[in-house]
Amino acid sequence: MDEDHYAVNRAWWDERAPAHANSPDYAVQELIADPTRLSDVVRFDLPRLGDVNGLRGIHLQCHIGTDTISLHRLGAALTGLDFSPESIAIARGIAAGADVAFVQADVYSAPAAVGSGFDFVFTGIGALGWLPDVARWARTVAELLRPGGRLFMREGHPMLLAFDVERTDEWVLRYPYFEQPEPGHFDLAGTYVDAEAEFNHTQLREWSHGVGDVITAVLAAGLELTMFVEHDSAPWEALPGRMYRTDGEWRLNEHPERLPLTYTLQAVKH
């Protein structure tokens, strides 16, 4: 990743990590108070995730670790990895007492930072868009996994992400669907959850990755695709003013059957 893009994005995440930890959307205090509680994201994943008890897993781009800790509560031995030192520091505080390792490193450096031989790699919502090269990401995942290990990921659907979120009167395609060499440059003063904080770092860089880009990258890395499911919900208000929330997920107010909002992909390394 270009060093400028990396630094811009890390500053954006470093500044928002404390606000996210204090946001009701992450429910950090509830997670700490109730040792049986799972994050909304992991709870949604359960029917497809299956039994991870006793497995060794790594959560790439773990942010403040709420999903990482939730996976640990399902019985997995977890490592969380993120490039933001502020996020990692907060994750360690939330996990205090839990046997979860948190490592600061960028995704592409993960094998050098944590080794390999993992039973599963978990990648959650909103991760891939911060990476410039999905093929390199898939090769990194393959390097982390043991033979027979699997990738589990849920991600924002690139069709959803191509729409202009500022237009509520019409459906307007504004952003690329397919991966492009250069990122989109955005100025976002706020953040994606309910937070009262004001931020100084507003610039960020994001990349598009079409479904075909992702699946092709996974197959080219030597993984076998075992699941691809599209969903009509997302865990954040992706289209403000056009969605309602229920059971921790956001759905379209009208015609939810017309647009996939997220997808789940699983693949196995042979």
Residue 223: pLDDT over 80: yes
User: What's the burial of 258, exposed, middle or buried (CB within 10 Å: 0-12/13-18/19+)?
Assistant: exposed
- What pLDDT is attached to residue 195? 64
Residue 1: pLDDT over 60: no
The model's pLDDT over 161-204, given as tens digits with 9 standing for 90+, comes to: 999 998 988 999 999 999 999 999 988 776 666 666 778 888 89
Q: Which two tokens stand for residue 244?
A: 């309602």
Residue 152: pLDDT band by 50, 70, 90 thresholds?
very high
The model's pLDDT over 100-118, given as tens digits with 9 standing for 90+, comes to: 999 999 999 999 999 999 9
Domain 3-269 = CATH 3.40.50.150:
yes
Q: In sequence order, which ranges of 132-206 are alpha helices (DSSP H)?
A: 134-144, 158-161
Q: What percent of the chain has pLDDT over 90?
A: 83
Q: Which two tokens stand for residue 20?
A: 């996210």
Helix, strand, coil percentages for the chain (3-state, nearest 5): 35, 25, 40
Query: Mean of the per-residue pLDDT values for the chain?
Result: 93
Contact 94, 34 (CB under 8 A): no
Residue 231: pLDDT over 70: yes
Phi, psi angle pair for 58, to nearest 5°: -130, 135
Pairing of strands 262-269, 145-156: antiparallel
Q: What percent of the chain has pLDDT over 70?
A: 96
Phi, psi angle pair for 196, to nearest 5°: -90, -10
Residue 96: pLDDT band by 50, 70, 90 thresholds?
confident
- What pLDDT is attached to residue 97? 82
pTM tops 0.85: yes
